[in-house]
Amino acid sequence: MRYTFRVRYNEAMLRAAVRAFVLHRLGGKTPLLTVVAVGVLYCGYLIGFGKDRVFAAFVTVTFICLPLWVAFLWRAHLRSTLGRFRLMPTPESTFTVTGDALSVVIDDGAGSTLPWSYFREIWDCGDCWLLLLAPNDFITLPTRGVPDAALNSIRSKIPKYASIAGSSSSSTVAGSSGSSTIEGSSSSSRMRGLLLVAAALLSVSALLGGVSLYRRWKVQSIYERGASSDDDGERQPDKRHLEAIRKLRFIWDPLVEGGGPIVDPYQPYGSAALADDLAPILGTRDEVAVAAFHVEVAAALSWALKHGELEVGRYPLAHLTNAEIERALRRELRGLPPERIAAIVKELPRLDPDGTFPFTHEHLRLIRHLRFGWPHRNMLAVFNTRHWIPVPIVNYKRPFGDMTAFEIDMAEILGLPRPPFNDTPLDQQLSNLYWEIWPALQVFVEHATIATRSS
């Protein structure tokens, strides 16, 4: 049977056909939007809360490239389709359907005849059919006004048919012996399957990221509650707190006010992983429980500094050496002029050659009065900026009392004259003693007798 009919094109129909083709080739509008939505959430999570900035940047750039690639694909098909349309002398073509081939002729006489074996699928866009010759090559056939017999003849010759006008992919084919249901486009089904898998993986990642985000928020809220606590920030330790106190490491922060001792914000208990260090004590690796216990240790440390006992003498240090003292300070001084760094390093306290430190009555008196505890909210913001783990710190501005110059408080605590602040031996003595609080704190937490309460 031979059918000949004329069809008419318009730009709106061709734009809709290209849009339907691209969306269907990518798996459909719903899976694509799902991938985009989940991808945006996941990238936002990585940018806002991810620790690995390079990985976050790589994932974000890769994800941005995906819609750019879709836009490029869309644009390429649209330009090709509209380009051919605009070169036609009239927006009409003549189709001829025979038992062996399909012929297409435009009004200037140009055309082609293709055997049915060249065609792979039919995609029904509603107002037109896309007759696929290759994954990215098709002939557009407007269906309005075309005899049903001609359309049925075409569908009987091309084995695969899929309706892509809506969200469904149900498909039928009319053969010479009647109508039967067949599977739609295998290539688009594979793409849709891949997109659904990608959406599922991203959804799981986003869900896990959301759970992680919630737990990070819980940890941060615990730290902020500790910073805004109305009590004195002290609590007698139990045996677990004391075990954690024994593991604490201290460094010197030279960048705030006049500097001062703080718990090492890079490795408070020996490593950068609080859970690894505290889980053997706490019995869990849960980050919320670990954070709560970490804040409790800060309160227990504040209590211990005021009530612990330590005899005068030389004490070995398990967690501090002269090399570690200098390395820790140089790390915090990075970026300063070399001569400035050298001048500060000269003021460092030093352990004796055998690795011991002479703990004196002066150290004990100063530690008793040291304002040392959980940081306030404004300091927590500084910790976030410096990518530090929140840890107990000294009151940088008023470490021993309420005087404008803390050296005056130190002199009063030690029963010394008021310092003249004129580079006198007394001024140097007080400066050295303040520096020595760093190793003195390490000695204290490792060796002091600290009474514990029952849990």
Compare 443 and 206 and report the one with higher pLDDT: 443
Q: Is 215 within a domain?
A: no
Same domain, 247 and 149: no
In a domain? residue 353: yes
CA–CA dist 231, 349 (Å, integer): 34
Where residue 70 falls among pLDDT bands split at 50, 70, 90?
A: confident
Q: Are residues 40 and 113 in the same domain?
A: yes
pTM of the model as a whole: 0.61
User: In this predicted structure, what is the pLDDT of residue 186?
Assistant: 47
Residue 241: inside a domain, yes or no?
yes
pLDDT value at 262 more than 90: yes
d(CA 362, CA 21): 82
Enter the tokens of residue 309.
């006992």
Helix (H) or strand (E) holding 70: helix 53-87
Q: pLDDT-derived band of residue 180, with 50, 70 and 90 as boundaries?
A: very low
* Statement to judge: residues 56 and 121 lie in one domain: yes
Q: Confidence band (pLDDT; 50, 70, 90) for 201?
A: low
Q: Give the C-alpha separation, 59 to 37, whole Å.
A: 15
Cα separation of 146 and 141, whole Å? 9
**Does residue 263 sit within a domain?**
yes
Question: Is there a single domain that holds both residue 141 and residue 239?
Answer: no
Amino acid identity at 51: K
Q: Which DSSP string corresponds to 305-345?
A: HHH-B--SEEEE-SS--HHHHHHHHHHHTTTS-HHHHHHHH
pLDDT at 199 > cutoff 50 = yes
- Of 143, 172, 192, which residue is a domain's last? 192
Residues 140 and 252 in one domain: no
Q: Choose one of 162, 192, 222: the last residue of a domain.
A: 192
In a domain, 121, yes or no: yes
Which pLDDT belongs to residue 157? 92
DSSP line for 189-258: HHHHHHHHHHHHHHHHHHHHHHHHHHHHHHHHHHHHHHHT-SS-S-----HHHHHHHHH--EEEE-SSTT
Res 197 pLDDT > 70 = no
Q: Are residues 186 and 284 in the same domain?
A: no
Looking at beta carbons, which pairs linking 291-297 to residues 24 or more positions away fall under 8 Å? 291/218, 291/219, 291/222, 291/223, 292/222, 293/240, 293/244, 294/268, 294/390, 295/222, 295/223, 295/225, 295/226, 295/374, 296/235, 296/241, 297/237, 297/241, 297/244, 297/245, 297/248, 297/392
**404: pLDDT strictly greater than 80:** yes
Q: Residue 46: pLDDT above 90?
A: no
Asked if residue 184 and residue 108 are part of one domain, the reply reads yes
Confidence of residue 170 (pLDDT cuts 50, 70, 90): very low
Containing domain of residue 365, as a range? 233-447
Q: Which of 139, 166, 192 is the last residue of a domain?
A: 192
| Confidence bin at 95 (pLDDT 50/70/90) | very high
175 contacts: CB under 8 Å, gap ≥ 6: 155, 156
Percent of the chain at pLDDT above 90?
A: 47
Query: Are 247 and 186 in the same domain?
Result: no
14/94 same-domain check: yes
Let me know whether 49 and 173 are in one domain: yes
pLDDT of residue 179: 34
Report pLDDT for 431: 92
The 8-class DSSP code of residue 130 comes to E
Q: At what angle do helices 425-447 and 406-414 cross, to 10 degrees?
A: 70
Q: Find the mean pLDDT for residues 364-377.
A: 94
How are the residues of the chain apportioned to helix, strand and coil, as percentages rounded to the nearest 5?
A: 50, 15, 30
Residue 255 lies in a domain: yes
The percent of residues above 70 in pLDDT, for the chain, comes to 85
Question: How many other C-beta atoms can be found within 10 angstroms of the C-beta atom of residue 305?
Answer: 25
How is residue 277 written in tokens?
Answer: 């260090």
- Asked if the structure places residue 44 within a domain, the reply is yes
Is the pLDDT at 87 greater than 90? The verdict is: no
Same structural domain for residues 240 and 184?
no
Does residue 107 sit in the same domain as residue 239? no
Average pLDDT, the chain: 84
pLDDT at 20 over 90: no
Query: What distance in Å separates the CA atoms of residue 351 and residue 316, rounded to the nearest whole number?
Result: 9
Q: How far apart are CA 333 and CA 336, in angstroms?
A: 6
Residue from 448, 423, 245, 426 nearest 364 by CA: 448
How many structural domains comprise the chain? 2
**312: in domain:** yes
Cα gap 281→151, rounded to integer Å: 77
Nearest to 253 by CA among 199, 175, 333, 173: 333
Please say if the pLDDT value at position 35 is more than 80. Answer: no
**Structure confidence at residue 228 as a pLDDT band (50, 70, 90):** confident
